[in-house]
Structures are given as C-alpha cells and as structure tokens.
C-alpha cells in the first residue's frame, strides 16, 4: 500500500485524491490517510503531492515508519474524500516545516 506521511499535516493540498482510481483517500481535519484496503499500488498519487508526502510502504523513511500503521488506523475512522478542494489556509507556511506530527488532529 501507499502511505501519507508527516509533510501532509496542516497542508492537505488534496491534489492526490483527484487521481486515485480507487478513491482510497480518507479525510481528517488537517491530514489525509490512505486506506490500505483500497490502495492498489498504482503510484499515480505520488508525483501529485506538492510536499512529497506519499511513499510506497516499503520506501517510507525511517523516521516516518509509524505512519504506515497510522494511515490504516485513521482510514478506518475517517470518511472518503474523492475530489480536490482548496488546501488549508496556511498550507504554504506549513509546507517547509519538517517536524509537525504534534499538529495532527484526529
Ligand atoms: Fe490511490 Fe494509487 Fe495512490 Fe494507492 S497508489 S492511494 S490506488 S493513487
Ligand atoms: Fe496531503 Fe499531499 Fe495529498 S499534502 S492531501 S498528501 S497532495
């Protein structure tokens, strides 16, 4: 499966959801998760993300490994998102911030 990582937090550009053939994205207040039950590993979402948040599970960086389980957990709780919408209002300010997992809202 593919996995959304920390750089999505407080950005939520949503370009990724527009291209997903299986509507695998789930939406929380300031982060998206990919449902591993629906992801078919097509990889088309990866280049769409302006902050390079999406990785194949086997390629997730070491300091982001917890996001594999976190995507699965959050995807069970959150509704599907299938259409692009505006990024969060301060997305540009948060895009370069590396350590922001404490900002994740459930
Ligand atoms: Fe959707 Fe493909 Fe991305 Fe999986 S890899 S979330 S199926 S676009
Ligand atoms: Fe997040 Fe990137 Fe999608 S910021 S909402 S993973 S386009």
pLDDT for 83: 96
Q: Is residue 100 part of a domain?
A: no
From atom 2 of ligand 2, which residue's Cα is the shortest distance away? 49
Q: Is residue 94 part of a domain?
A: no
Phi, psi of 78 (to 5 degrees): -105, 155
pLDDT in tens, the chain (106 residues): 999 999 999 999 999 999 999 999 999 999 999 999 999 999 999 999 999 999 999 999 999 999 999 999 999 999 999 999 999 999 999 999 999 999 999 9
Q: Is residue 66 part of a domain?
A: yes
pLDDT for 30: 98
How high is the ipTM of this complex?
0.98
The secondary structure of the chain, three-state, reads CEEECHHHCCCCCCHHHHHCCCCCEEECCCCEEECCCCCCCCCCCHHHCCCCCEEEHHHCCHHHCHHHHHHHHHHHHCCECCCCCCCCCCHHHHCCCCCCHHHCCC
Q: Is residue 77 part of a domain?
A: yes
| Domain count across the chain | 1
65 Cα–ligand 1 center, Å: 18
Q: Is residue 33 part of a domain?
A: yes
CA 68, CA 61: separation in Å to the nearest integer? Answer: 11
Q: Is residue 97 part of a domain?
A: no
Q: Which atom of ligand 2 is nearest to the CA of 7?
A: 4
Ligand 1 pocket residues where CB is under 6 Å: 2, 19-22, 24, 34, 39-45
- Residue 75's CATH number: 3.30.70.20
Which range of residues forms the domain containing residue 35? 2-83
Q: Is residue 88 part of a domain?
A: no
pLDDT for 41: 98
pLDDT for 84: 97
Q: Is residue 101 part of a domain?
A: no
Q: Look at the pTM and tell me if it is higher than 0.80.
A: yes
């Amino acid at each position: 499966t593919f996995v959304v990582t920390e750089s999505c937090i407080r950005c939520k550009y949503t370009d990724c959801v527009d291209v997903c053939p299986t509507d695998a994205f789930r939406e929380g207040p300031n982060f998206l998760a990919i449902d591993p039950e629906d992801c078919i590993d097509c990889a088309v979402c990866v280049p769409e993300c302006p902050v390079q948040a999406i990785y194949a599970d086997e390629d997730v960086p070491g300091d982001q490994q917890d996001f594999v389980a976190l995507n699965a957990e959050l995807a069970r709780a959150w509704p599907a998102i299938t259409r692009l919408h505006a990024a969060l209002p301060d997305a540009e300010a948060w895009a370069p911030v590396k350590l922001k997992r404490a900002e994740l809202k459930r």
